[in-house]
Structures are given as structure tokens and as C-alpha cells.
Amino acid sequence: MMGPETHLGFGSPPREKMESLVLSDVASDYRSAMSSSLSAVVDGCDPLLSLPSPLSTSAAASSSSSFVDPPSYADVVFSPLDSQNGAAPDRPSLRRDSSSPRSDRAAASEYAKITVSDPQKEQDAVNSLVPGGGTYVTYLITSRTRAGGAEFRVRRRFRDVVTLADRLAEAYRGYFIQPRPDKNVVESQVMQKHEFVEQRRSAIEKYLWRLSVHPVIGKSEELRAFLQAQGKLPLPTSTDVASRMLDGAVRLPKQLFGEGPAGYVTPQDAVQPAKGGRDLLRIFKELKQSVANDWGVAKPPVVEEDKEFLERKEKMQDLEQQLSMASQQAEVLVKAQQDIGETMGQLGLAFIKLTKFETEEAIYNSQRVRATDAKCLATAAVKASRLYRELNAQTVKHLDTLHEYLGLMLAVQGAFSDRASALLTVQTLMSDLTSLHTRIDKLEAASSKIFGGDRSRMRKVEELKETIRVTEDAKCCALREYERIKENNRSELERLDRERHDDFLSMLKGFVINQAGYAEKIANVWAAVAEETSAYARQ
């Protein structure tokens, strides 16, 4: 794994140190390069921030417009990164470009800083059945609000993150909520590895930060509880399957036989999609409804007519596809950049060895001259190799925007499916009502044939009318919920388009300036060598 860059020999390094020039820490594994280049900036000393002055003088010497000027260059380059104010002790502060749209968004968030650190292994109170299990990792979550400046420190485990994500998904239907970090199937096995814990720590940090930057989610009680409530996380966890099944089993007969108030969907339930266990009947009904919708047997009165929405949905799907491709190719590009830098470094090393050898064994003057030439080339190659590595670290950060938005597409899908299931609930309730009305009509027609009315049938009618009233209420709730989600979808789509426009623009700009800047630096390195060896040029 790459450690933080500590040696930046942009001047020519002393002869003896040449061989120890940083080549051994060249990360050959792409993934470690990815994570280490990200963490190198966040954890260690950042190469660009600590650029020594010799570089800026060489930059001043170059005649072309300077992309090499460290301060402004660094600013533009860093804007895609999460701009957090204040430094946790283990994290030096990153410069903020005060005019980037992303930092404007960050400035509007409730939290000035969220840090995840200090993973600790803890033991489960109850011994788990799984051998080697029973231990889990907790992380220290430090956050500071922008308003009061108060700092909060809590300990959370990954399960808490899952809970947070689930509760947010329930409470904020229709919103584009950042997908949470993945669970790992064989969690306890993988847990031992330091690398995994580090990856997870970083992923949780990013996740929390992105939640906090969301204009709505960032202000949520759930997030606040997660970040600030001491002790156990005060959010309801998903109830375990057993008790849900029991609940469901008890309610099912009542639902199936349609008796009593338990036979219909209560308004408060109507605002949630049907979930397993307790809502078995509702699931069956909604399934029937969706089948009916598909087959067009019963024409649903509420149809997804919003053409505009359908168009946008298609666009989102297209966007997701292209994002996936671009994200893939970005990874390949980064790998290729890394490789060329590495090989350049190896080439330099080979020539350093040759230089040393020729110098030691020199008998003729031509050998000494050659050794000098070789050293000139070797030094340049090593410099260029360094520059490639830095370029790549920046490229990774810029193109990360692609990966980020690809992840967000999942959130979009979730929001759209919230809408679809809300619509389905409305449709189901509506067809419920229709069938209830039909039943009433039938009963009334039958009882009218009997002189004086049919008391049992009339009683039934009254019951049904009561059911209709409740169902109407539920339908209104469901409709309101559907409209609410529709509105959330719409505003979120707008926000996504806006933010994506800005973020992509920022990404392209950063990428381009980064590439140009480093290409310039590399050109200067080689131009010097070409100048020094110009005596050999072909006549």
C-alpha cells in the first residue's frame, strides 16, 4: 500500500540517494492505488499542498499560461472533494474553493464536519452461534453542527448504519437518498482484515457526509439521532422475522375473512408500502391489482399519465447506462496512467544502475560522458514517473464524480419505485372501493325484492358502508402520499439535473486542467533533457 508522500525531490536529488528514490512504494495493485490515492490526500500530507517552492519557480519560467501555479491550481483541483471545515486530529484540513457549487451546497448543510475514525473491536454480550462471531467493530463518529458549533461523539456499528438507511428509506419516500455502503456476506470472516475495516470506515464517512449535504435528509431527525444520540441508537430496528411472522399470522385470518376493522388497510398503513409479515393480505391484493393493471382487465382510474415523468425516467435509465460505461473506462484510464508512470520509473532505475556501473568501470572518457548522459535521462524519467503518479491521484479524484453519480442512480431507482408502489396502493384501494360499492349494490338490489327489507342484509350494507368510509379515508391518504412522492420525485429530479450539471462541469474542468498542468510539467522535464543532449541530434 502506498504510504503518504514524504519525499518530493523536484530538485535533483543527491547522488547517493538516487537509488532510494521512491520506486519501491509504487502501488502495483490498482485497487490499492485507488484507495491509497484517495486516502493519501485525506490522511497523509497531500502532495500538491506541500509543493516546495522550486516548482513554482520552474513554473514561472515556463512561458505558457500557468496551470502550474500551486495555490489556484490546487483550489480548482480540490473542489470535487468533500469540503470539510476544521480538522480532526488525524486529518489535515483540505483547502476549499469558496466559489465551487459543491462547497456552496456543503455550506448550506447543517453539519460542518463529520468524521469516522478509531475502529474498535467489541464483543457481543450474547454469545453468537457462529464460531468466531460475536465480535463486531464500532467506529467513532465525530460531528460538529454548523449552527452551534457543538461537537458530538458517538460510537456506532455497521448495523446501526443499516438501520439508519432503512428508516430514512421509509420516512423519505420519493427522495434520492444516497445508497448506504454494502454489507458483506461473510462479515465476521472479513472483519479481521485491516484493509476491509479501513475501506468500510471510509465508505461510512462518505455516506454520512453525502446524507448531510442533502437539502432534506441532512436536516432529518434520523440523521441527527444517529450522529448525536449517546448510547444505543434510538431508531427502531427492523423487527426480527419471527415476531413479524407471528403478527402476520394472527392478522391473516381476520384479513382473509374480511371481518372487522382488521380487514382493511388503515390510513396510517396506507402511507407505507406493503411489507412482508404483517401485510400479507395487502400484498396479495396489490399483487392482484398489478396483474390486473398489466393485463388491462380493470382499467385503473389513476394511470401514470405523467408523460414528462416517463420521459425523464427513460432518460435516467439511459444516463445510468452511459455513466456505467464512462465509469468503467475511467477506471481503465486510471490504470493505464498508473502503469505508464510505474514503467517510466523502472526505466529510470535501470538507467541509474547503468550510470553507476559505467562510472565505476570507466576506462575511456567516452564512458564517462555516456554515464552523465544516462544519469540525465534517468533523473528525468524518475521525475516524470513521480509526476504521472501525482497526476493519477488527482485524476482518480476528479473522475470519482462518475462513480458517485452512478451510485446515485440506485437512489433514483429507489425513489421511482417508491412512486410506483405508492401508485399501486392507490390503485388497489380504488379497486377495493369499486368492489365494495358493487357488493352494496347487489345487496340492496336483493333486499329490495323482499317486502319490508331484509334486516340481515341491511345490516351488512351498513357494515360495508362503514368499510367504505374507512377505505375512502385510506384512499385519500394514499393519494396524498402518492402526490407527495410525485412532488419529491419532481423536485429531486430538478435538483439532480442542476447538481449534476454543476458537478460534471466541475469534474471536466478539474480533469482537463489537471491533465494540462501535469503535461506541461512533464514536457518541461523532457525539454531540458532534449536540450542537454542536443549535441547528438541528427544532422
Partner 1 sequence: MISPRSPPGSSSQSPRSPSAPPFLSVTVTDPVKLGNGVQAYISYRVITKTNLPEYQGPEKIVIRRYSDFVWLHDRLAEKYRGIFIPPLPEKSAVEKFRFSAEFIEMRRQALDIFINRIASHPQLKQSEDLRTFLQEDEETMERARSQETGIFKKKPADLIQIFKDVQSKVSDVVLGKEKPVEESNPEYEKLKHYIFELEDHLAEAQRQAYRLVKRHRELGQSLSDFGKAIKLLGACEGDSLGKVFADLGSKSELLSIKLQKEAHNLLMNFEEPLKDYVRAVQSIKATMVDRANAFRQQCELAETTKLKEINLDKLMLMRSEKAMEAEIEYKELKAESEEATRRFETIVKLMSEEMVRFQEQKTADLGLAFHEFAKGQAKLANEIADAWRSLVPKLDACSPSLCS
**Ranges within 384-413 binding partner 1 (CB under 8 A):** 384
State the Cα angle at 423 between 419 and 429, rounded to 5°.
Answer: 150
Q: How far is the CB of 401 from partner 1 (least distance, A)?
A: 11
Whole-number Cα distances in Å, 34 to 38, 90, 341, 378, 511: 6, 20, 15, 27, 16
How far, in Å, CA of 192 to CA of 194, rounded?
6
Is residue 315 within the footprint of partner 1 (CB under 8 A)?
yes
Candidates 105-113, 119-127, 226-234, 364-372: pick the segment binding partner 1 (CB under 8 A). 364-372
Candidates 59-67, 166-174, 417-425, 462-470: pick the segment binding partner 1 (CB under 8 A). 59-67
Whole-number Cα distances in Å, 516 to 54, 68, 74: 20, 9, 13
For residue 188, the 8-state DSSP code is H
List the one residue from 5, 160, 373, 432 that touches partner 1 (CB under 8 A). Answer: 373
How far, in Å, CA of 87 to CA of 97, rounded?
16
Q: Assign residue 371 a region: left if phi > 0, alpha if psi is -120 to 50, beta otherwise?
A: alpha
Choose between 191 and 380: whose C-beta lies nearer to partner 1: 380
Choose between 169 and 347: whose C-beta lies nearer to partner 1: 347
Candidates 124-132, 166-174, 279-287, 352-360: pick the segment binding partner 1 (CB under 8 A). 352-360
Is residue 252 within the footprint of partner 1 (CB under 8 A)?
no
Is residue 98 within the footprint of partner 1 (CB under 8 A)?
no
State the Cα angle at 75 between 70 and 81, rounded to 5°.
Answer: 130
Is residue 340 within the footprint of partner 1 (CB under 8 A)?
yes
How far, in Å, CA of 198 to CA of 349, rounded?
32
Is residue 347 within the footprint of partner 1 (CB under 8 A)?
yes
Q: Restricting to residues 509-528, which ones interact with partner 1 according to CB under 8 A?
A: 509, 512-513, 515-517, 519-520, 522-523, 526-527
List the one residue from 101, 119, 407, 414 that touches partner 1 (CB under 8 A). Answer: 101
Q: Which of 121, 104, 526, 128 is nearest to 347 (CA)?
A: 526
**Residues with Cβ < 8 Å from 418, sequence gap 6 or more?**
173, 174, 273, 485
Is residue 237 within the footprint of partner 1 (CB under 8 A)?
no
Q: How far is the CB of 242 from partner 1 (least distance, A)?
A: 46
How far, in Å, CA of 212 to CA of 168, rounded?
12
Is residue 501 within the footprint of partner 1 (CB under 8 A)?
yes
Q: Restricting to residues 264-293, which ones interact with partner 1 according to CB under 8 A?
A: none
State the Cα angle at 537 between 531 and 539, rounded to 5°.
Answer: 140
Is residue 333 within the footprint of partner 1 (CB under 8 A)?
yes
How far, in whole angstroms, is CA 57 from its chain's centroid?
39
Choose between 290 and 346: whose C-beta lies nearer to partner 1: 346
Is residue 95 within the footprint of partner 1 (CB under 8 A)?
no
β-partners of residue 142 are 115, 153
Is residue 357 within the footprint of partner 1 (CB under 8 A)?
yes
Q: How far is the CB of 331 from partner 1 (least distance, A)?
A: 9
Choose between 339 and 472: whose C-beta lies nearer to partner 1: 339
Q: How far is the CB of 320 from partner 1 (least distance, A)?
A: 9
**Residues with Cβ < 8 Å from 526, sequence gap 6 or more?**
380, 384
Q: Restricting to residues 430-469, which ones interact with partner 1 according to CB under 8 A?
A: none
Q: Restricting to residues 156-215, which ones interact with partner 1 according to CB under 8 A?
A: none
Whole-number Cα distances in Å, 213 to 102, 259, 410: 9, 48, 18
Q: How far is the CB of 173 from partner 1 (least distance, A)?
A: 26
Q: How far is the CB of 275 from partner 1 (least distance, A)?
A: 34
Is residue 60 within the footprint of partner 1 (CB under 8 A)?
no
Is residue 72 within the footprint of partner 1 (CB under 8 A)?
no
Q: How far is the CB of 137 from partner 1 (least distance, A)?
A: 37
How far, in Å, CA of 470 to CA of 74, rounded?
62
Whole-number Cα distances in Å, 314 to 328, 412, 416: 21, 12, 11
Is residue 490 within the footprint of partner 1 (CB under 8 A)?
no
Is residue 351 within the footprint of partner 1 (CB under 8 A)?
yes
Sheet strands (E) in 36-189: 111-123, 135-145, 151-157
Candidates 143-151, 174-182, 295-303, 319-327: pick the segment binding partner 1 (CB under 8 A). 319-327
Is residue 326 within the footprint of partner 1 (CB under 8 A)?
yes
Choose between 278 and 383: whose C-beta lies nearer to partner 1: 383
Is residue 376 within the footprint of partner 1 (CB under 8 A)?
yes
β-partners of residue 455 are none
Choose between 412 and 422: whose C-beta lies nearer to partner 1: 412
How far, in Å, CA of 396 to CA of 339, rounded?
14
Number of residues that bind partner 1 (CB under 8 A): 71
Is residue 319 within the footprint of partner 1 (CB under 8 A)?
yes
Q: Restricting to residues 464-483, which ones interact with partner 1 according to CB under 8 A?
A: none
Grid cell digits, residue 326: 464512462
How far, in Å, CA of 427 to CA of 293, rounded?
9
Q: How far is the CB of 33 from partner 1 (least distance, A)?
A: 15
